[in-house]
Amino acid sequence: MKKKAIISAIAAIMLVLPIVSGCGNKNNPVEREEAVIDVEPVPDSELNRSEEPDTMVMTSGTESGNITDEQALSAIRNYCYANNPELESIEEDGEYPVYWEIASSDENEIVVLFRSYTGAEIRYYIDPVSGETYVTEFVSGITDEEERTDESFNVKDYYESDAASGSASALTGTWQTVSMGYEADETIQPEYYVQFTDSDINYGHMKDGAFVLDHSDKIRLLEDTTAGGYRIQAESSNGTPYTYQTSEEDADLLEYYETWDEADFPEMYRAGASLSRCE
């Protein structure tokens, strides 16, 4: 069955910068001794990029559910924007260089480098399985080497919830699993009834004709497919990645794959967990 392609706070360095150099969490500031040093933004023309890491080739992940380089890069940008609202306008202005890039990547760790408009180099060290992330900072002329900050977060919290052009507008209404089960009154009902929002997949049951929520899974990617359907990537509470994708033969059927990697679809297809639209 052929399918279409899927998807610092600064550490205590004994100083206070007059402007935000990274994109740390403003709600969790680091205590510093008051030794104020003026740090001027570094124009692009004066920036020495000879020591930048080599450009890395983007990878798509080698294991089901692993964070890809593309996802890590996008999520770190979102994290920086969320924690420094002025950053986007500074980036768009173009007077001072601001960029993100993959500094290194392998099966154990992804490192995203953020070059701030102040000249600081912020590196985000990401576990590609769990998403747990810690941060280091290097400021040329001020610190001798990378210094780890007290900043940590999960990069998965900064995935695009409605990535690309997708929205849940065509997924309105109630869906049901193909698999059935016996209720207490011995009637046969779908294992779950399902409703979609732009950010969540809600699983529940029907009571007196009304949908009753049991639990929700967070949508990590929601996009239109070239065939005119939808691809929804989500993650269960126990960390299992899965995909719903519109069947090529039936727009009212969402096929279920227990993976985010399309290459694994044939082996990870679960017919009973697939969804059909309720009439």
Give bridge partners of residue 243 from the DSSP assignment: 233, 257
| pLDDT-based confidence at residue 98 (cuts at 50, 70, 90) | confident
Q: 135-161 burial, b if ≥16 CB within 10 A, otherwise e? A: bbbbbeebbeeebebbbebebbebbbb
Amino acid 270: pLDDT: 94
Q: How far apart are CA 141 and CA 235, in angstroms?
A: 43
Give me the phi and psi of 217, to 5 degrees please.
Answer: -115, 145
Mind listing the pLDDT tens digit for each residue in 147-174?
A: 999 999 999 888 764 433 445 667 888 9
Tell me the pLDDT band of 24, cut-offs 50, 70 and 90: low
Q: What is the pLDDT of residue 229?
A: 83
| Residue whose tokens read 């009834």 | 193
Mean pLDDT on 39-43: 52
- Give the number of other CB atoms < 10 A from CB of residue 203: 17
First vs last C-alpha separation in the chain: 26
254: nearest Cα among 271, 237, 241, 279: 271
Answer whether 181's CB lies under 8 Å from 193's CB.
Answer: no
- Mean pLDDT for 212-235 is 85
Q: What was the pLDDT predicted at 12?
A: 40
* 56, 97, 119, 121, 146 from 49: Cα distances, Å: 16, 11, 11, 11, 16
Does the pLDDT at position 86 exceed 90? no
Query: Bigger pLDDT: 98 or 258?
Result: 258
Q: What is the pLDDT of residue 27?
A: 41
pLDDT at 88: 81
Q: Confidence class of residue 194 from pLDDT cuts 50, 70 and 90?
A: very high
Distance of alpha carbon 97 from alpha carbon 188, whole angstroms: 62
Which position has the higher pLDDT, 276 or 35? Answer: 276
> Which helix (H) or strand (E) covers residue 3, if one does?
none
Asked whether 65 and 240 are in contact (CB, 8 A), the reply is yes
Reading the block at residue 61, the tokens are 């992940």
pLDDT interval class at 41 (50, 70, 90): low
Distance CA 104, CA 179 (A): 43
* pLDDT at 228 > cutoff 80: no
For residues 31-49, give the mean pLDDT.
Answer: 47
Q: Token match 């919290």: residue? A: 157
Share of the chain above pLDDT 90, in %: 32
Q: Which two tokens stand for residue 163?
A: 């990535």
- Which tokens in the block code for residue 153? 């977060």
> Within a 10 A sphere around the Cβ of 191, how many other Cβ atoms?
15
Q: Which two tokens stand for residue 75?
A: 């999520």
Give the other-Cβ count within 10 Å of 132's Cβ.
13
**Matching residue, tokens 């993959």:** 102
Beta-bridge partners for 211: 206
Provide the residue ranges of all domains of the chain, joining segments of one domain with +. Answer: 44-158, 168-277
**In the numeric block, which tokens belong to residue 208?**
């007196």
Task: Name residues whose C-beta falls within 8 Å of residue 247's C-beta, 6 or more positions apart in sequence.
Answer: 229, 253, 254, 255
pLDDT of residue 101: 92
| The listed CATH number (2.40.128, 3.10.620, 3.30.70, 1.10.1240) that belongs to domain 168-277 | 2.40.128
Confidence of residue 247 (pLDDT cuts 50, 70, 90): very high
Q: What is the pLDDT of residue 118?
A: 83
For residue 49, give the nearest of 106, 119, 107, 104 by alpha carbon: 119
Calculate the average pLDDT of the chain.
76
